[in-house]
Structure 1
Amino acid sequence: MQFFDKRIISHFDFVTVMLVIPIILLSYHLINEINDILGSKQLIYFMIAIAGFLIVFYLPIRRWIKIIPILYWLGIILLLLVEFIGVTKLGAKRWIEIPIIGLTIQPSELIKPIYLLMLGYLVMQKPPQRDGYEIKDFAIFSFYILLPTLLIAKEPDLGTAAVLALVGFGVLFVVGVRIKIWIGISIVIAILSPLAYTYLIKDYQKKRIADFISEEPSYHVRQSIIAIGSGGLFGKSVDDATQAQLKFLPIATSDFIFAYLIERYGFIGGLGLILIYFLLIVHLFYYNYYFSEDYLLKVFSTGLALLIFLNMSVNILMVIGFAPVVGLPLPLFSYGGSSFINYVILIAIFENLVAFRYKDSYNFERRLY
C-alpha cells in the first residue's frame, strides 16, 4: 500500500507548519514552567492532535464534499442538545457528556471547522457575481452564519459567538458582497445595539464591560498589567517571575498566558510571538488571492486567518486591559485540549485542501484498495 505520493509532498504547505511549531513549543515551555502536571497533560493533547492531524489530512475531503451540509446540521443538532442535556461549568452550559466514558465535548469548538467548510461549500455552489452577492444570496449565507452563532451565544458564550459571526461575515466581505448591503447592515447594527445591550447581554457580561470602561481595571487585569510591566524589555528568570510563580497572575497557563510570556521574556518575547502570528495570518491570506478560483480553499484559508487573528487580538487586548475579559484562548498557545486540538484539525483541513487541490493527486488513493 502506498500512503505517500511525491505530488502530495510537493504541494504540502510547509511554511504554515514551520510557523506553528515555534508557537506550540514556546507554549509547552511556559505551561510546564508554571505547572509540570499541566505540562504533562498538554503533551497528551499534543499526541492526540498529531494523530488527528494525520487522519484528517488523508481524508478525501474534496471527493466527499457533498457530506459537508450533513456534518453542518449534525453540528447544529449538537448545539441544540447543549440546551437540553448540556453540562454546566463555571456558570455556562457549553459541554455534552459522552455516556459510559464520562468525557465531555464542546460543540461550539467542534462546529468551527465544519462551519468554515460549509461556507466554502455554499460559495462553491453559488460563486459571487462580478459586483458581489445580491441581498437574496446574502440572506442565505447569513442564515448559515447566524444559526450556530445564536445557539452559541445562548449557552452563554458571547465571545465565541461574536468571533464566529465576524469570521463568517468577514469571509463574505472578502469573497464579495455589494456595498449597499454592508451600509444597510451598519445602520441596523447602530440602531439595534442599545436594545441588544439592554435585553440580550447577561448581567455578568455587563459587569465585564463596566470593568473595562471603568477607571479601575478588574483584579485579573491589574495583575496581568503588573506582570507585563515587570517583564521589562528582556524579561526575568523563572524564579524572579513572581506574578505567576506566587499565583498572583490568575489563569496564567490559559487566558493570561501572554502576560506570563512577557514577564519571562519581556517586550521582545511578546513582540516575537505577535510577529509569528502576523506572518501566519498573512501567509493564510495569501492563498485567498493566489487560488482565487478555488473557492473552497479560498474561503477556508480566509476563515482560518480571521479566526486566528480575532482570537489572538481579543486575547492580547484583554490581557493588556484594552478589551473586556472574555474566555477566548490564545490560539495554539493557551493551555487546554479542546481549543488546541481543534486548531490543529483546522490546520490539517487547510493542508488537505492545499495538498490535494489537483484532482489527479487522489489517484494514489485508488491503489490502496
Structure 2
Amino acid sequence: MWRFDKSILSQFDFFSIILIIPLVLMSNWLIGEAVPVLAQKQMAYVGVAILAFLVIFFLPIRRMSWLIPLIYWFNIALLLAVEFFGHSRLGAQRWIEIPFINATIQPSEFVKPALILMLAYLINKNPPPLGGYRIGDFLRISFYILLPFILIVKEPDLGTALVLLLIGYGVLFFIGIYWKIVAAIVGAIFLLSPVVYKYGLHDYQKTRVKDFLSDKPSYHVQQSIIAIGSGGWSGKDKDEATQTQMKFLPIATSDFIFAFVVERTGFLGALGLILLYVMLILHLLSLAVFNKDYYIKVVTVAISFMIFIYMGVNISMTIGYAPVVGVPLPMFSYGGSSFLNFIILFAIMQNLITFRYKDMYDRSGTKSFM
C-alpha cells in the first residue's frame, strides 16, 4: 500500500510554480478577450498539462534512466518518419498524421525534452574533468545535439532547430568545455555565417532577414510597434485597444501576444511580465549552480536557457529587433504543444529535485508517496 511521505513537500520547489501561475492566468485572460473560443481550448491544454505533470512527477525517473536513450532514439525515429511520411503545410513537412483519429503531431516539439534528458544522462554517466570536456567527449555529446538539429533543418524548421542547438550547446558550455574548443567554435561562427546565409537558407528565410535589416519593418512588425506604442504607461481599456480588437495586430494570441500585453496593460504590465520571466530564469540558474547533481544541473539550466531564448526572441521580434519567426512567448502564447513541453520539463525537474535523496525510495525501488 502506498503511503504519503510528507518529507517530499519540504523538497518540492514551490517558487517556480508560484511564478508560472500568473503567466497562465494572464495569458488566458488576454486570449479570452481576443478570441474566447481559443481561451477555452487553452484551458483544456492547461488541464492536460497538469495531468501530465502529475504522472511524470511520480515516475521513478532516476531508476528508469535506462529508458532515456530509448526515448531519445524513438524521437529520432519520429523525425525520420517526417522525412519519409510527413504531412506538409505551407511548404514545410513537419507533421505526422495519426491514423484513425484525424490528428497530427509535430515531432520536433517532443524532441526538446528528449534531448535535454539525453544530455543529463550522458553528462551524469561521464562528468566533465577539471578544465572541461576535451575534444573526444565534446564530439561524442555533439553528435546527439547535431543529429536532431540536421533532421529538423531539413523539414525545414530553422527556428526550432536553432533553439535546439542553442539549448544543447548552452548546457555544454555551462557544464564545462575546454577553452580552446570554445574559441574554435566562436571563430567558426564568424567565418561560416556568410556561407550559411548564402547557401544554407531558403528564399523565405533570406526574405525574413532582409525585412529585419531593411529601413522599413514588415507589416506585421509595424502593427506590433503601433500596438506597443499606443499602450502608454498603464495600457488601454478593452474597447480602446483598437489594434487587437479591430484585428490590425496579426496573430495577437500567439506570435505577437507581447504587443497585445503592452496595448492592454502598458509599460507597467510589460515590465511585470518580463520581471516574472527574469525571476524564473534566475531561480532556475540558482538551482543549477548550487546543485552538484548533474541531472538537476542539466535540466534546470536547459529550462532556463529555453525560457530565455524563447522570451528574448519573441519580444525582440515584436519590437523589430529580431527577424519574425514562429517562436512563442513561453507558457503565455496560445498553443498546446509548446505549453505541454514546458510543463513536462518542469515536472521532470520537480521530480529530480524532490526525490533526489535515496531515502525517498522504498526497498522495492518505487517511490513512497501514499
Query: Would the TM-score normalized by the shorter structure come out above 0.5?
Result: yes
Matching residue's letter, 1:323 = A
Q: CA deviation at 1:366?
A: 6.1
Partner Cα distance (1:299, 1:116) in 2: 7
1:322-341 correspondence to structure 2 within 5 Å: 322-341=321-340
Structure 2 unaligned blocks of 5 or more: none
2:320 aligned residue: 321
Query: Which residue of 2 is the match for residue 169 of structure 1?
Result: 169
Cα deviations by residue, 1:46-101 (Å, 9 ceiling, x for unpaired): 11111111111111101001110111011111011111111122322111111111
Runs (4 or more) in structure 1 with deviation over 4 Å come to 366-369
Aligned twin of 1:221? 221
Cα pair 2:97 2:105 within 8 Å, conserved? yes
Q: Partners in 1 of 2:361 and 2:9 — Cα distance?
A: 13
What is the CA-CA distance between 1:353 and the residue it aligns to? Answer: 0.7
Structure 1: gaps spanning 5 or more residues: none
Partner residue, 1:275: 275
Tell me whether 1:211 sits opposite 2:211 in the alignment.
yes
Number of the residue aligned with 1:245: 245
Show the counterpart of 1:260: 260
> Which string of whole-angstrom CA distances, capped at 9 and with x for unpartnered residues, describes residues 174-204 of structure 1?
1110111111112222222111111110100
Matched ranges for 1:62-141 at <5 A: 62-141=62-141
AA aligned opposite 1:197: Y
Rounded to whole Å, the distance in 2 between the matches of 1:63 and 1:283 is 27
Q: 1:367 to 1:42 in 2, by over 3 A?
A: closer
Task: Give the letter for the 2:121 counterpart.
Answer: Y
User: Aligned partners of 2:88 and 2:297: how far apart in 1?
Assistant: 37
**Residues 103 and 3 from structure 1, CA distance in 2 versus in 1: closer, same or farther, beyond 3 angstroms?**
farther
Distance (Å, rounded) in 2 between the aligned partners of 1:219 and 1:109: 28
SS in 1 for 2:238: coil
The CA distance in 1 between the partners of 2:28 and 2:327, in whole Å, is 18
For 1:231, the aligned partner's letter is G
TM-score scaled to structure 2, two decimals? 0.97
Using the alignment, how far apart are the partners of 2:4 and 2:282 within structure 1? 29
RMSD: 1.3
Give % identity. Answer: 57
Residue aligning to 1:288: 288
TM, length-normalised to structure 1: 0.97
CA distance in structure 1 between the partners assigned to 2:241 and 2:63 by the alignment = 52
* Offset at residue 367 of structure 1 (A): 6.2
Q: Displacement, 1:362?
A: 2.0
Distance 1:366 1:272, change over 3 A: closer
Inter-partner Cα distance in structure 1 for 2:356 and 2:128: 21
User: Aligned partners of 1:263 and 1:3: how far apart in 2?
Assistant: 50
Q: Matched residues in 1 for 2:163 and 2:214: separation?
A: 24
Give the total of aligned pairs.
368
SS of residue in 1 equivalent to 2:101: coil
Structure-2 separation of matches of 1:174 and 1:366: 31
Query: d(CA) in 1 for partners of 2:283 and 2:228?
Result: 29
| Contact 2:5/2:369 (<8 A) preserved | no
Structure 2 distance, partners of 1:252, 1:289, is 37
Cα-to-partner distance string for 1:293-337 (whole Å, 9 max, x where unaligned) = 200110110011000100110000000100000000000000011
In structure 2, do the counterparts of structure 1 residues 57 and 368 end up closer, same or farther at CA, with 3 Å as the change threshold? closer
How far apart are the structure 1 equivalents of 2:30 and 2:147? 37
**How far, CA to CA, are the matches of 1:3 and 1:169 in structure 2?**
41
